[in-house]
Chains A and B, each alone.
Chain A
Amino acid sequence: MKKVTYRNRISKVLGFSILVFLFTSNSLLAQAEPVADASVEQVAEASGGDAAAGKSLFNQNCAACHSLNRKMTGPALANVESRLAEDEGLDRQWLYAWIKNSPGMIKSGDAYANKIYNEYNKAAMTAFPTLSNTDIDNILAYTAAGPVAATTTATLPGDPVQAKSTGISNEIILGALALVFALLVFMLISVNKTLRRVMQANGVDVEKESPKGLPIWKAFAKNQFLVLVTTIFLLLGSAYFAYGWMMQVGVDQGYEPIQPIHYSHRIHAGDNKIECKYCHSSARKSKTSGIPSLNVCMNCHKSIYQVADATLAEGKQYGIDYNEEIQKLYSAVGWDEENQKYTGETKAVEWVRVHNLPDFAYFNHSQHVEVGEIACQTCHGPVEEMEIMSQYSPLTMGWCVNCHRETEVKVEGNEYYAKIHEELSKKYGVETLTAAQMGGLECGKCHY
């Protein structure tokens, strides 16, 4: 029985992950946020800009191409001002000019501007004439608070020292709990013993009363009618359950396989509200919804190289390090983070199919998604809440047929249906038509 197997597996995994979580999470929940904030403030005062405002400006304008501590489309920007001043002898005025009109700088033949331009694949930086000098001051103040990210990386999971230091306290708590339980058990046993001894001493008789009539099971066995009725009910009952069990053979509702890359629909479709068909674009025009190719992932993940700390912490609940999963993506698609380039060495990802229709059933996504305008969730369930994708619907023929019986076809505004709708609604005397009335229950519509 597959379903149960999966559930067992899930519960085991869950149980195990809860245990692991108990032992490790405390260490990770306490992140270095306060430290970071403190350091931002410290540096902000020093450079004469508002680092907090700078952070939001940075995230709005720069983060798509720049990061503080790593090369992305553009160079890493931590301490950019001091770095430029030390290495190239360029001052803040140069930075103002560059940020406001970088293409102009390149054209004007500025040496360092051209050097940077050539170094980054001749992709000119967007000009930001809207940023005021103060804005830029603020951003620079934020970039000067460089060590922030470094602190974050230092607290990544698996840091042995930290895990150990908080792990001890957990053990102590658990040990204490165990001790308390042991004490309780011991106390109960000794109380019991004491009471018995007191009873014996007082001469109280604790023997059981002897039965007066026949025992109930013997009476039951003697009543043949009752036995017959019970047997019939038992047989019927077991037949009912046996039927129920057999009908779900091959139905994989709840199937939740472990995927080669832990992709969280909860984060993408739920938290970030990415439209399903952005990735599953072929659902619009093809029978298959299509598992997105990795280049679609890279549309975003070129710049999202790691997740926010809060998200990372959420991942711990599932025993997953999201950043590692992103690394799996990079290695499969052949993305060289260092140089921000594709190496061309790709590895195919072997996803485990969750929804498996048998070959003899034809199902077309575009028919349902585009023509029928049916929400993906109708069949796939609350995907935006699923951390691990699982099969929500039974995908049995009865399930399909029920829906075809109940669902009204969206005929408005579709020229195709104009004639057939008019004629059919006259025939059946109804205004709206179900898929079944349109012939959606005929065998050959799905089996050929």
Chain B
Amino acid sequence: MASNKKYWKSEAELNPNDSIVEALRQNEFVEDIPVDEFLGDKETLESTNTNRRDFLKYVGFSTAAASLAACEGPVIKSIPYVVAPENIVPGVANYYATTIANGFDFASILIKTREGRPIKVENNKEANVGGGANARVQASVLSLYDSTRLQGPKSAEGDVSWDVIDAAVKSKLNSGKQVALLTQTYSSPSTSRLIAEFKEVNNNVRHVTYDAISEEAALAAFEARYGERAMADYDFEKADLIVSFGADFLGDWQGGGYDAGYAKGRVPKNGKMSRHVQFESNMSLTGANADKRVPLSSQFQKVALAYVYAKLNGTSAGGDLPADAQRVLDGVVSGIRKTKSRAVIVSGIDDVNVQAVVLAINEMLGSEAFDVKAPRYTRQGNVAEVQSLIADMKAGKVGVLVVDGVNPMYSMPNAADFKEAVEKVDVSVVFSTNWNETTVVSTYAAAANHYLESWGDAQIKKGHYSLMQPTIKELFDTRQLQASLLKWLGSDKSYYDYIKETWSTLILNGNDFNKAVHDGVYVAGESVADPVLMVSNADKEVDASENESDGVSVNINAAVSALAGSTSGDGMELLLYSKVGMGDGQQANNPWLQEFPDPITRVSWDNYVTVSKADAERLELINENVANGGLDGSYATISANGVSVTAPVIIQPGQAKGTIGLSFGYGKKEGMKSEMKTGVNAFALYQGFNKIQSVSLSKADGNHEFACIQLHKTLMGRGDIIKETTLEIFNTKDHAEWNHVPQVSLNHQEVPATSVDLWDSFDRTIGHHFNMSIDLNACTGCGACVIACHAENNVPVVGKAEVRKSRDMHWLRIDRYYSSEESFEADNTKKNEFDGLSGDNGSLGGFGELEDPSANPQVAFQPVMCQHCNHAPCETVCPVAATSHSRQGQNHMAYNRCVGTRYCANNCPYKVRRFNWFLYNNNDEFDFHMNNDLGKMVVNPDVNVRSRGVIEKCSMCIQKTQKSILDAKRDGRPVADEEFQTACSSACNSGAIVFGDINDAESEVAELKESNRMYHLLEHVGTKPNVFYHVKVRNTTEA
């Protein structure tokens, strides 16, 4: 039966007279297709004599030609040494012990060289003093190959020879005017001796040490109390209670390098771990690791410190504190009373009174963690002397100014002042590895060696000496200051000979110099320290009169009452700080460090004003995640004393209300690649070399585009990602309670997720089976592993714009989570109590609330790299089998097989796979280091440089495990446990990352795997990863 149903597509069709219906019947499209628009205008199209056929011919011809040309392989040349050096075997790495002492970072390190090229920084296990290699030190090897380095001495007219500079300096020596050396902190015995000698031979020589970020207060307080210009050393491993008043000791506080000791005390052993209470204004790395963090402006920190001193002393000090801070402080005081010598107090406030009181308290407690007998020498800068030098320069009293290792035109708050002063100096010679703000105003820019090309030494801590040896010949026509001083002295000695002489006569006490060079470190008995070796002591004699004004004797009682009475200035309190990635900005031209995401804000390629949420609301400052996945922020202007700086704003959870933060190290302009000119210069606000400034903050126009790699800030109550518990529960309850294995339903029965398996498991009991352990208690989030991974695995730098598009390539990231409530535990409780979808307690609104971090959140760090799942979801979806599993537990990635479908990245629950959107090497669009011959020298020859269109990811450093295995095979022995390392595990100073073979029952990692703190990330997914984590335990014991 025929149907007379009428089907219609649109209402218009119902009306037979509608013109649209007719039009549609005639034309497929209602509107004209704008062919001309996308093919170009009609006229040009018609006027051209290339028709379609020609076009096809060209295409055909060029395709054929290209394929024919591709058939002929390139001729590859191989150029061996003409005369091979004895100790270089092509393909085998050599390691040299050396020391970095660039005035900001001091560490004894090993340098891995391949065919004579330094390619990687490793920790020197024999060095037991100072820090290991932090992120900046790890990255310093790339600064050696910076293509913007000064390649020879220069004057304003252009290139000059060293003879010209030598002659210019020599002609001005002994001219009656002063000869001033303005340098970084060397803490170098040989340099001190050399400068002393230089002073003896020449009249009127003065040596002024200048630190870009000054520790004047700590130095002055220590000097007043102990008679030596140095800083107390701390071993946080020996402390059960750590109380910090604004000291970012896991960052760069007093030279940094305290994380290893701290982390050791943080891992619960026999039911005990240290407790860490932090009072601070900015959210620092240290605060993020604290058991209890109290956001407090520095004014209140001072009052609190005075309160603690008074309480312990049995007296009382005035001053009011916010109630919650007061409560925590009372807990701290009773805690200190209990732990006594096992407690330690530190502070980072630039105030002599504060530092004096800190020393007094620690001495009063007899703190075991506190060491004044062998203090640290890593900061020697003297503000008063710097200021008097500038005054003398302005008065025209200085004939020669030699600057080394510092960039005062950039790092002085009164740069204009310095410029005026330099112009009055007859000859100024600036030793610098790069063209910078100071070389611009100087007579001569003396191209200096990178530390990897230099000889040198350092006394990081009293009696603990380190040697610096070159690991490569000077790449350019450069000379270090010490060599120049020797030349100006008329000596024909090399600086190496000079160091050897210094060490043999003054330090080694008959021990072998070559052994010291080999080890890189030498520990002397206490008696050895010679006064001539210490810069500070030499300077003290000269400037004793000036130091008096700094308060050589600090009256503690007066100091305490001064602190108790401290009041806030009007406006906001700015705390300037140094970022883990950038430090004082010496290596601002280092792309690894620029791309290194800040551990707290997770922002790369920028510095910014950190503002508390309350203040942001008041000033209408916003952060928003925009549609393209980037983070945008308002601009704000900081003004103080006529200086104003406009910087983008990051709303920082945990920032004390009424305070803001801004980091040093950015905003460099001279001698920088355009990509690296990021951020604003915070040194402009560093008035009086005090990190705390009273400023006013106002909103500025415009929006800033950040390159932030983690937009989601909270855990949303997903306690199984970062498992946390308190020390009390950890000690008293069964691990099933605090380290709960997720349950799944199998045959309507709740069973542990680990017991259910979709796949047949492989037998992995034979051979090696690599596992990695990450202890969330020990991990401080410092990020040294991130840079180490960069260097080891040739991870490309992609630049700010790409990072903003979430195309960062880091194989290893350190996730940072804030709690939404007061603690993560409260988050979990809140989530579990959700009832229904909507309503007061509904999950819809509730999860929305959980997205917002608390005003003072708990913070947790979690390093995440490829988890090398035994049941890897990525492997099953790869259409070309480019990723596959090995018997050794590593998830392999054959780049040459990958066709770039990215299914694996989509199917990875951990989101650790990275896609090469572009060709990052040999591409001038990515002007970082892989596009020039110099920068490419840092590339590790054992690891592929990936091309465009492939996925890459953590390989668990298979090149390193394979090498360890091969070494053992060649020697015919089993592999020792400590031989198995990845770049991250060997870079980890705090011992958080441990790598090894779990089939070796004796190995450390096998033992860690048996720990009841062990858990896997997203265990309920059933991926059975070969990376496991250890439950984070917080010590919440209040008293």
Question: Hey, which bits of chain A sit against chain B, CB under 8 A?
Answer: 1-2, 5, 249-250, 252, 257, 282, 285-288, 290-296, 332-334, 346-353, 356, 358-360, 362, 364, 366-367, 370-371, 413-420, 423-424, 427, 438-439, 442-445, 447-448
Contacts and interface: CB of A to CB of B under 8 A. Distances in A.
A367 B76 CA distance: 24
A439 B767 contact: yes
Given A353-B78, A443-B882, 5 more contacts: A249-B71, A290-B80, A296-B84, A444-B894, A448-B958
B82 A295 contact: yes
B89 A427 contact: no
A371 B970 CA distance: 6
Complex A-B, nearest 4 residue pairs according to Cβ-Cβ distance, in ascending order: A444-B892, A286-B91, A293-B84, A293-B81
B76 A356 contact: yes
Nearest to B82: A346
Contacts of B942: 287, 362
B896 A282 contact: no
A252 B73 contact: yes
A286 B942 CA distance: 12
B972 A415 contact: yes
Nearest to B80: A291
A347 B895 CA distance: 38
B978 to A, nearest CB: 16
Contacts of A288: 90-91
Q: How large is the interface on B (under 10, 10 to 19, 20 to 34, 35 or more residues)?
A: 35 or more
A448 B884 contact: no
B167 interface: no
Contacts of B89: 282, 285-286, 290
Contact of A287 (B76, B91, B955): B91
B323 interface: no
Contacts of B890: 444
A286 B92 contact: yes
B74 to A, nearest CB: 9
A249 B90 CA distance: 30
Contact of A443 (B79, B884, B943): B884
Nearest to A246: B71
Contact of A250 (B73, B79, B90): B73
A296 B85 CA distance: 11
A439 B894 contact: no
Contacts of B81: 293-295
Given A351-B78, A447-B894, A447-B895, A356 B73 contact: yes
Nearest to B67: A249
Interface string B760-785: 00010111000000000000000000
Given A293-B83, A295-B84, A443-B892, A367 B974 contact: no
B1006 to A, nearest CB: 15
Nearest to A344: B83
A442 B886 contact: yes
B791 to A, nearest CB: 16
A371 B73 CA distance: 32
B970 A366 contact: yes
Contacts of B269: none
Given A292-B80, A348-B82, A443-B894, A359 B944 contact: yes
B80 A353 contact: no
Contacts of A416: 965, 968-969, 971-975
B75 A349 contact: no
A250 B892 CA distance: 25
B296 interface: no
B893 interface: yes
A30 to B, nearest CB: 39
Interface in B786-815: none
B325 interface: no
Given A439-B887, A447-B895, A282 B90 contact: yes
A295 B83 contact: yes
B92 to A, nearest CB: 5
A442 B884 contact: yes
Contacts of B71: 1-2, 249
A360 B755 CA distance: 39
Contacts of B763: 427
Contact of A346 (B83, B962, B971): B83
B595 to A, nearest CB: 23
A415 B73 contact: no
B888 interface: yes
Contacts of A364: 966
B945 interface: yes
B1003 to A, nearest CB: 14
B892 A294 contact: no
B966 A366 contact: yes
Contact of A349 (B76, B80, B767, B958): B80
Contact of B974 (A252, A287, A362, A415): A415
A443 B942 CA distance: 16
Interface in B517-562: none
B82 A414 contact: no
7 contacts: A287-B91, A352-B77, A356-B73, A362-B959, A364-B966, A439-B888, A447-B944
B84 A447 contact: no
B79 A351 contact: yes
B701 interface: no
B970 A285 contact: yes
A333 B83 contact: yes
A360 B91 contact: no
A352 B944 contact: no
Interface in B928-984: 942-945, 955, 958-959, 962, 965-966, 968-975
Contacts of B959: 362, 448
Nearest to A348: B79
A360 B82 contact: no
A293 B90 CA distance: 11
B182 to A, nearest CB: 42
Given A290-B80, A356-B73, A362-B942, A415 B973 contact: yes
B897 interface: yes
Nearest to B79: A348
B200 interface: no
A360 B894 CA distance: 8
Nearest to A283: B91
Nearest to B955: A448
Contacts of A348: 79-80, 82
A408 to B, nearest CB: 15
B72 interface: yes
A360 B80 contact: no
A2 B73 contact: yes
A421 to B, nearest CB: 10
A332 B81 CA distance: 11
Contact of B77 (A333, A350, A413, A443): A350
Contact of B966 (A291, A294, A367, A439): A367
Given A359-B945, A370-B970, A282 B78 contact: no
B83 A448 contact: no
Nearest to B76: A353
A1 B894 CA distance: 28
A422 B460 CA distance: 51
Contacts of A282: 89-92
B911 to A, nearest CB: 21
A278 to B, nearest CB: 14
Contact of A332 (B77, B82, B765, B975): B82
Contacts of B82: 293-295, 332-334, 346-349
Given A2-B71, A423-B766, A448-B943, A294 B83 contact: yes
A293 B86 CA distance: 11
Contact of A444 (B77, B886, B969): B886
Contact of A257 (B75, B894, B975): B75
A360 B947 CA distance: 11
Contacts of B958: 444, 448
Contacts of B887: 439, 442
A288 B893 CA distance: 23
B870 to A, nearest CB: 14
Contacts of B75: 257, 352
